[in-house]
Structure 1
Amino acid sequence: MIQGGCRCGAVRYTLALDAPPPVYACHCHICQRWSGSAFSVQALVFQAALTVEGPIVLYEKVTEDRTSIQRVCPQCHSRIYNTNTRRPGIAVMRAGTLDRSEELVCRAHIFTNYKQSWVTLDPAVPQWGEAAPAADFAAALIRA
């Protein structure tokens, strides 16, 4: 079991996984604004593997091609995860909310056309200037 939670501890979650999930970094402007940083680091997990305890506030964002529902702690406002209509059954976990997040390995970078100029990426890690093709992205995340 993998565990995590928000900054204040009001929200805790468990992932029914044997090992930490593979993570990726998104450098798009939306993720930069959401995170207040140069990029966001996320993990895709099956929503059925996720159990959340504690209060959650939903924030729904509707765009031309999807509806994204963010789950946020109502006390400290940490974003825990989101789902969207383009990927039913998948939770996009915020990697920094995982306990032992220092053990995570970034397996891919997306939207690197928007990365901050001072960020240096490991050329051995797959990266795409925009969205990655689904099959290539999946292969990058599951590589050993």
Structure 2
Amino acid sequence: MLLEGSCHCGAVRFTVEARHPYPFNLCYCSICRKTAGGGGFAINLGASAETLTLEGGAHVRSYHARLHEDESGEVTYSEGERKFCGLCGSALWVWDPRWPELLHPHASAIDTPLPVPPERTHLMLGSKAPWVEPCIGPSDRSFEGYPDESLAAWHQRLGLER
């Protein structure tokens, strides 16, 4: 499925081909919540990095999330690049060099109507903010940490690959 996306101010526009376009994976970790999740979570889709086309690339900035600090004060950062618009701050996508073929657009940046998922996966609930009350449906799956299936496996299990 071809996804068209943009930032809020319109300075950045992109397209990307997604085999896994259902917005089902709600992540409650502090990184997603603070960089892209106004509702206490963020939703990432699965797309092919090689299909990315970009307008306004001069406005795209990267953020490597701070993972932790050890006793000596040394900070470890994520290898993943969280891309956002440098003008309006809109979260756009995540790309990680460990999986260079994948791109994870934020559902919130997509302008193309997305298909409604038949169920949702709530992950990293052990990291959710205390004020967040997840709305977990009867067929939804919940995980304190990472789920037991990938974006691809979820789409395949439900026969939803495009």
Matched, 1:59 2:93: no
Matched, 1:45 2:44: no
Counterpart of 1:131 in structure 2 is: 146
- Residue by residue over 1:23-80, the C-alpha shift from the partner in whole angstroms, topping out at 9 and shown as x without a partner, is 2110112211223431011102111122121131222346558411121112111111
Secondary structure of the equivalent of 1:33? helix
| Structure (1 or 2) with the larger CA radius of gyration | 2
> Structure 2 length as normaliser, TM-score?
0.72
- Looking at structure 1, the residues matched to 52 and 65 of structure 2 have their Cα atoms a distance apart, in angstroms, of 22
Structure 2 residue identity aligned to 1:49: T
Counterpart of 2:102 in structure 1 is: 90
In 2 relative to 1, CA 97–11 (structure 1 residues): closer, same or farther, beyond 3 Å? Answer: same
The CA deviation at 1:120 is 1.9
Counterpart of 2:21 in structure 1 is: 21
Give the structure with the higher percent strand: 1
- Residues 111 and 128 in structure 1, CA contact (< 8 A), matched pair in contact too: yes
Q: CA RMSD in A?
A: 2.5
Q: Which runs of 5+ in 1 are unaligned?
A: none
Secondary structure of the equivalent of 1:31? helix
Secondary structure of the equivalent of 2:44? strand
Q: Compare 112-121 and 22-31 and name the one that shifted more.
A: 112-121
- Residues 95 and 101 in structure 1, CA contact (< 8 A), matched pair in contact too: no
Aligned length: 141
